[in-house]
A = this chain, B = another copy of it.
Amino acid sequence: MTGPFEDATAVDRTGPNRFAARIRPGWDIVGNANGGYLLSVTARAMARAADRPDPLSVTAHYLTPGSAGEAVVHTDVVRSGRRLATTTAVLSSQGRDILSALGTFGDLSHDHGPASHPEFVDGAPPELPPPPECRPVVPGEVFPPPFMDHVEVRLHPDDAAFLDGRRSGTARIRSWIRLPHGERIDPIALMTVVDSLPPTVFNVDLPIGWTPTVELTTHVRAVPSPGWLAVDARSRFISGGFLEVDTEVWDRGDRLVAQSRQLALVPRPATTDAA
């Protein structure tokens, strides 16, 4: 049985290095498909091409916004070793290249934890009240966007100030996330999870509304256990016309399952110049 996420990110192999896909309606923010969702679609094709189940590190550079419609992923496996395989990919739709990706894939089920490798952890999940005491984000007429129907988000009440027109003053959003209908979050779905929260800049008092992603890199560090994931997204440097968003994802076993960073453009105030 497939779930809605697996279905919305499915790819069909139509050649040794070619996969047919479909960017589904409703996975968008104001008409542009969510960048993490587009990367999950692409990563599914890359994993098949690489013949390895799990993305370990995947980077996408976003070339033009994607919208609902037929799409194709072209892959090129540049190295296939004993444990790891590396492949490039381009996701195209409606005659335009949407994103270019580069990733290394492997099998995370080989990870048997501290028994097999030395471990050292200097970090902890974000402090979050239980999900029922957190703030859901549900789609409105324009905002929050329809994408929020496809992931269940429960914001830390302190970080949800922007929903009421206030600002917490810190460019940080802590949240629970899960997929609806109990669908399991696999390593490929983590590529979407890291890009599912409202922008961190909504919590600082700057004239910034629109921050197109230039680049997004995700490292998957472990297969998540089922249930809510705790997500901690933070921007520390909004400078020189760019900002980064660093995101950590933890499972209910308090294990770090993904780390991501994206670089986004901060357009000058009162312009909507394209990159």
Contact = CB atoms under 8 A, between A and B. Distances in A.
A207 interface: yes
Contact of A78 (B97, B242, B266): B97
Contacts of A90: 78
Interface residues of A, number: 66
Interface in A90-107: 90, 97, 100-104
Interface string A74-92: 0000110111101010100
A96 to B, nearest CB: 9
Contacts of A118: 206-208, 238, 266, 269
Nearest to A64: B79
Given A61-B86, A83-B275, A208-B118, A263 B102 contact: no
Contact of A79 (B97, B114, B116): B97
B242 A56 contact: yes
Interface stretch (A26-34, A65-73, A142-150, A214-222): A214-222
A128 interface: no
Given A64-B79, A78-B63, A78-B90, A123 B261 contact: no
A15 interface: no
Contacts of A78: 61, 63, 90, 97, 100
Contact of A88 (B100, B242, B263): B100
A106 to B, nearest CB: 9
A132 interface: no
- Copy total for this chain: 2
Nearest to A243: B120
A47 to B, nearest CB: 15
Contact of A240 (B123, B221, B239, B268): B221
A274 B81 contact: yes
A127 interface: no
Interface string A108-150: 1011011011111111000000000000000000000000000
28 contacts: A56-B263, A57-B214, A59-B59, A59-B217, A61-B78, A61-B86, A63-B78, A78-B97, A81-B274, A82-B273, A82-B275, A101-B102, A111-B240, A113-B239, A113-B240, A114-B239, A118-B206, A118-B207, A119-B238, A120-B206, A120-B238, A122-B171, A217-B261, A219-B263, A221-B237, A221-B242, A237-B259, A261-B261
